Structure 1
Amino acid sequence: MKPVESIEDFYREKLNWVPDSIHTEIGHFNVFKLAPFIGKEARPVPYSRRDYFKISLIVGNNKVHYADKVIEIKKKALLFASPQVPYNWEEIDKIQSGYFCVFTESFFHQFGNLRQYEIFQPTGTPIFELTDKQADEISAIYERMFDEINSGYTHKYDILRTLVFELLHIAMKMQPSSNFEKQEGNASQRITSIFLELLERQFPIDDTRQRLSLRSPSAFADQLAIHVNHLNRALKKTIEKSTSEIISERILQESKILLRHSTWNISEIAYALGFNEVTHFNKFFKQHTEITPTRFRNV
């Protein structure tokens, strides 16, 4: 798999320079119009993970390959990309225009955990088709970002954070509230939140020397210091899935990513995902997809 692209790589590749502010403790933020990048950004972009966040308004027909999904943007869309999930996108018709902003996690260090938002999680919805009215509203937010970043106002970065959160909440209002959100504040939700954090902390897998250490419901229950049945009831209540189902779905998702977008052999992938024998991985994969890993890779 392509190495993780850093924010420095982004600037070197796209702009041939790296801003001095990029390594400051307050983090980094910048905003761009997409037009100057068309021709660079519109060609198929290598499938990789980035170490920064990116929110893009894209006008034009293209496809986004995100985690193990492929989503077609027919007209206008808002795309959220995070360090947790690899992606690339390819042009179908000529991309006309758009905006994007990039920022590091440390830019929001004192203002909450960005990774808790569903749209930045591997199982979340990263792309939102927009009406013309919604696209105009979001374009206006990006124009405000340009006004603020070019101003001399002392607290302009506080305003820029607020505008990023505005984009987040506009998008989240477009999707139905999940059971997870409705249960917020109760004991089951807290257990679920910690479980998902423990699960997700093991990903992404970027090196063949990595190996999942938490793969079974009992292993997670031990980490949480609760009975495995208690954990299962909490997850059933909040997500309506069993512990085993959630673990298996996440391992399956990562296996598809590695099969599609890495050069690792099947044995290396099986080992990294915690399978002691490649035959066990083959059986697991076929059980959930009805095809073998090798066939999936070659389709």
Structure 2
Amino acid sequence: MEKTETFKSFYEDKFGERLDILSNDNADFLMIPHDGCIDGKPILYRRRNFYKISFLDGRFVVHYGDKSMETKGTGLVFFDPKTPYTIESLEDSTMGGHLIFKEYYLDTYFRNHINKLPIFSRDHKPIFSLEQVEIEKIITLFDKIKREHNSDYEFKNDLIRNYISELFHFAVKKKPLIKTHTPTDTKTRLAKVFIELLDRQFPIENPGDPFVFRSPRKFAETLGVHVNSLNRAVRGYTGKTTSDYISDRLMEEAIILLKHTDWNIADISYGLGFEDPSHFNHFFKDRTQQIPSNLRI
């Protein structure tokens, strides 16, 4: 997989000038019309270290994590730094645009971190299809953002943050999510720290820098708890055993690497922490009833 794209490298590759010549505000947020992203270069499948909201019209395939989702018509798509993605256009389109911003552009705006918003949950798709009345509302918001972005108003970024917040809440309200009780007991905190520690090991960008923590016991030792306590916490929070949760996360990353990199099977197996490719093949076949190379045919 390509290395994580930074906000700085994206800007300098797209516009051919150094990012450090911009003011601090303009160096944290960009608005790009859809036709401004069409330059003949393919959009590489990779993670980015910034957030992106895309307003798309036409036929597109969004490759997001280990899934590929086709969208037809007009839609709003939300991307975060945790998940690799690319957008593949299936037909020409001139309507739409993209909002790109660093994490700390909105850091102090929300009471909780924006990656805690339901639209960035691993369990939900990031694409929202729009009805005509909703399309008009999104066009109005993008027009307001464009107008402020191009203005000299001293507090324009406060207004832009308000409009981005409206987009977030529009998406959350449009696709109601099951409300769950989120207690703050010790078991819940332990499960959340485990998940954060697991996610922190991805992406795997080099087979020589492999996935390290693979066993529940290793996680328990790192977290300073008994493995049974960790298992109870994870099962209570996710409904899965610790081993199954780790295995599911490994499978997700394995599919990403098989589909979107040219690494050979051995490199992928070592990168995921398997001692040899035969162990990886057994792991993969046990969960998918097929061998890893089938995903490349």
TM range (shorter): 0.7 to 0.9
Structure 1 residue 118 displacement after superposition = 4.4
| 8 Å Cα contact 1:118/1:125 also seen in 2 | no
3-state SS, counterpart of residue 152 of structure 1: coil
Q: Distance in 1 between matches of 2:224 and 2:175?
A: 34
Query: SS of the counterpart of 2:69?
Result: strand
Structure 1 residues 248-287: aligned runs within 5 Å: 248-287=247-286
Query: In structure 2, what is the equivalent of residue 31 of structure 1?
Result: 31
Match of residue 217 from structure 2: 218
Gap change, CA 1:26 and 1:44, over 3 Å in 2: closer
Measured against aligned partners, the alpha-carbon deviations of 1:240-279 in whole angstroms (never above 9, x if no partner) come to 2222221111110101111111121111111111111211
**Contact 1:85–1:121 (8 Å) recurs in 2:** no
Which shifted more, 244-253 or 15-24? Answer: 15-24
Alpha-carbon separation, structure 2, partners of 1:273 and 1:295: 18
The CA deviation at 1:10 is 2.5
CA shift at 1:23, angstroms?
A: 8.4
Aligned residues: 295
Q: Distance in 2 between matches of 1:59 and 1:294?
A: 35
Q: Which residue of 1 aligns with 2:53?
A: 55
Identity of aligned residues (%): 35
Structure 2 contact 20–27 (Cα < 8 Å) conserved? no
Task: State whether residues 26 and 106 of structure 1, in contact with CA within 8 Å, keep that contact through their aligned partners in structure 2.
Answer: no
Residue type of the alignment partner of 1:52: F
- Which residue in the other structure is 2:133 paired with? 133
Output the aligned Cα RMSD: 2.5
Shift of 1:285: 0.6
Structure 1 partner of 2:146 = 146
Aligned counterparts of 1:154 and 1:66: Cα–Cα separation in 2: 37
Q: 2:63 — aligned with what?
A: 65
- Secondary structure of the 2:77 match is strand
Retained in 2: the 8 A contact 1:5–1:49?
Answer: yes
CA distance in 2, matches of 1:173, 1:232: 34
How much does 1:289 deviate?
Answer: 1.0
Q: Deviations over 1:143-200 (max 9, x none)?
A: 2212322333333223322322322222223334356x42243444322321221111
Q: 1:160 to 1:190 in 2, by over 3 A?
A: farther
Q: Offset at 1:22?
A: 5.7
Cα distance change of structure 1 residues 193 and 138 upon mapping to structure 2, 3 Å threshold: farther
Q: TM-score scaled to structure 1, two decimals? A: 0.87
Rounded to whole Å, the distance in 2 between the matches of 1:232 and 1:97 is 49
SS of the aligned residue for 1:144 comes to: helix
Does structure 2 retain, via aligned residues, the 8 Å contact 1:217–1:243?
A: yes
What's the CA shift for 1:74?
1.2
Given candidates 89, 92, 102, the residue that maps to 1:91 is 89
Kindly indicate whether the alpha-carbon contact (under 8 Å) linking 2:12 and 2:19 is maintained by their aligned counterparts in 1. Answer: no
The TM-score with structure 2 as length reference comes to 0.88
**Corresponding residue SS for 2:205:** coil
Q: For residue 282 of structure 1, report the CA deviation from its aligned partner.
A: 0.6
Q: Which residue of the other structure, out of 101, 104, 121, is the alignment partner of 1:103?
A: 101
- 1:170 maps to amino acid: F
d(CA) in 1 for partners of 2:25 and 2:96? 30
Over 3 Å counting, the alpha-carbon distance change for 1:272 and 1:278 in structure 2 is same
Distance in 1 between residues matched to 2:44 and 2:131, nearest whole Å? 29
**In structure 2, C-alpha distance between the alignment counterparts of 1:297 and 1:262, rounded to whole Å:** 10
SS at match of 1:75: strand
Q: Return the offset for 1:115.
A: 3.0
Match of 2:75 in 1: 77
